[in-house]
Every structure is written in C-alpha cells, then in structure tokens.
Amino acid sequence: MAEEPESVLQLPPSTAVGGEGLTEVSPEAVTSEPPSSAAVSPGTEEPAGDTKKKIDILLKAVGDTPIMKTKKWAVERTRTIQGLIDFIKKFLKLVTSEQLFIYVNQSFAPSPDQEVGTLYECFGSDGKLVLHYCKSQAWG
C-alpha cells in the first residue's frame, strides 16, 4: 500500500514481547484523549490518564535504511528513545549486529533514556515530532 499520511497507528506497549506487529486503530481501541491543546493540568498531581497521553511521531529514513511502511505513530510520552529504537529494529527486522540511530533536527542523537515527550516539547512542530532514523554497523 502507498503511504497513508492520515493513519495514526498505536505503538504496541513496551511490555509486549516478541513483537505484536501493527495494531490497526479500531474505534474501540482508540483511547479517548482530551483535545490536543497540549494544556497542562493546572496544579494537580498527574492522574494516570495524563501520563498516557500520546504524541505523534513521524519517522523518516536516512541513507539506505529501509523505509517503514507506516511512518506515523502515536507514542506514549514516556516511551524512551531506546524503546523506540528497539521497536523500529524489530519492525525492520534488523539483525543484532546492526545498530539503529535516531536523530532530532536531522543531526543530533538524543540519549537512549530520553523520553519522546520531552523531545516533542523541544523539537515538535505542527503537532508532531519528526525523527530521522538510520541503520549502521557502527562498530566492529
């Protein structure tokens, strides 16, 4: 299928072992999210629902890295770069000897523990975070 810019697929939860693959967004699966005004709840402790709020990530391949069929993903804010790397590697079926790097601003690799929510705050625009990914046999 050609790319579907309108579809936003849910990233499988990080606890999923063995790769569940794509999850189609069906009406019941969509979590009811508050309007995406990105407003911060005033003053209160974060209820569990807020931390689950997802952000849109657009993944772009660099170099001769395989292009993902689905580029747009809704990802929990607390997902780390490492979690995203693991997911993309499984999705692209990379072998362990291949390293995958993710970049913001096309040039800077955030550390693996960085949360995508933070990256979205710093580098997101037009309601999404654009991340470039590149595979490499970086070492050895």
Partner 1 sequence: MEEDEFFGEKTFQHYCAEFIKHSQQIGDGWEWKISKDCSDGYMCKTHFQIKSGTVVSHPGTSAYVQTCLPTEEALELPLDDFEVPETAVASEVIKYEYHVLYSCSYQVPVLYFRASFLDGRPLTLKDVWEGVHECYKTRLLQGPWDTITQQEHPVLGQPFFVLHPCKTNEFMTPVLKNSRKINRNVNYITSWLSIVGPVVGLNLPLSYANATSQDERNVD
Contact residues toward partner 1 (CB under 8 A) are 62-65, 82, 85, 96-97, 99, 101, 103-114, 118-119, 122-123, 132, 134, 136-140
Contact 96, 26 (CB under 8 A): no
Contact 104, 131 (CB under 8 A): yes
- As given in the structure block, the two tokens for residue 113 are 């523990």
Residue 122 Cβ vs partner 1, minimum distance, rounded to whole Å: 5
How far apart, in Å, are the Cα atoms of 23 and each of 30, 42, 119?
Answer: 11, 33, 24
Residue 96 Cβ vs partner 1, minimum distance, rounded to whole Å: 5
Nearer to partner 1, 33 or 108 (CB): 108
Residue 49 Cβ vs partner 1, minimum distance, rounded to whole Å: 27
Nearer to partner 1, 75 or 84 (CB): 84
